[in-house]
Chain A
Amino acid sequence: LAKTTQPISMDSYEGQEVNITCSHNNIATNDYITWYQQFPSQGPRFIIQGYKTKVTNEVASLFIPADRKSSTLSLPRVSLSDTAVYYCLVGAHGSSNTGKLIFGQGTTLQVKP
């Protein structure tokens, strides 16, 4: 099972770029890497997903090196509203397999003015 490790907390200031790295040394061939954001009293919200190299959407970028043993979520120019817990998820799920889903411990990002 691919276990993930991410920093417990990070601080940043408004306008800065934030990079959160997740380590997943035992990632399997068919595993995807997915990041979620969670605000207090809400369920997690999907941010971005990738398999290899780089993925970018309107919210974030995800960098995955060739060995796929880690991944980095990049948030450009953060604002106070980006203060949240960010989870790294590694797993393949669905009716085609019985792979279990692994959430990291989560990184609490605090954005300061």
Chain B
Amino acid sequence: DVKVTQSSRYLVKRTGEKVFLECVQDMDHENMFWYRQDPGLGLRLIYFSYDVKMKEKGDIPEGYSVSREKKERFSLILESASTNQTSMYLCASSLSDRGRGQPQHFGDGTRLSIL
């Protein structure tokens, strides 16, 4: 079974702090994703990466950056946390498309609160 592990289930930070959310997958997947989930808005894609050091903006990249230095690890960075970034953050991974859709495997999420 694919395992996607997010470093924290719950995290509390203060406004203006730099926040790192870490995600590791153990199945050698090429693609990795960061989403946030808010009530009434469903899942929204922040960033994704299809290879080491490669990244693409999703639907809501503002206020976020990402880092993928190793294939198994994808980090989400809040450069200067704000209260509107309080949310559930979900990491996912998948095999490369190669012309066919591939299902995504999700971690259990990090509930981040910005005070």
Interface residues of A (CB under 8 A from B): 30-32, 34, 36, 41-46, 49, 51, 87, 91-98, 100-101, 103-106
Contact = CB atoms under 8 A, between A and B. Distances in A.
B106 to A, nearest CB: 3
B43 to A, nearest CB: 4
Given A100-B59, A103-B42, A105-B42, A44 B90 contact: yes
A34 B102 CA distance: 9
Contact of B107 (A43, A87, A93, A97): A43
A92 B101 contact: yes
Interface string B98-115: 111111111111000000
Interface residues of B, number: 35
Contacts of B4: 43
Given A87-B42, A94-B97, A101-B33, A46 B104 contact: yes
Interface in B42-96: 42-45, 48, 50-51, 56, 58-59, 90, 92, 94-96
Given A42-B108, A103-B42, A95 B100 contact: no
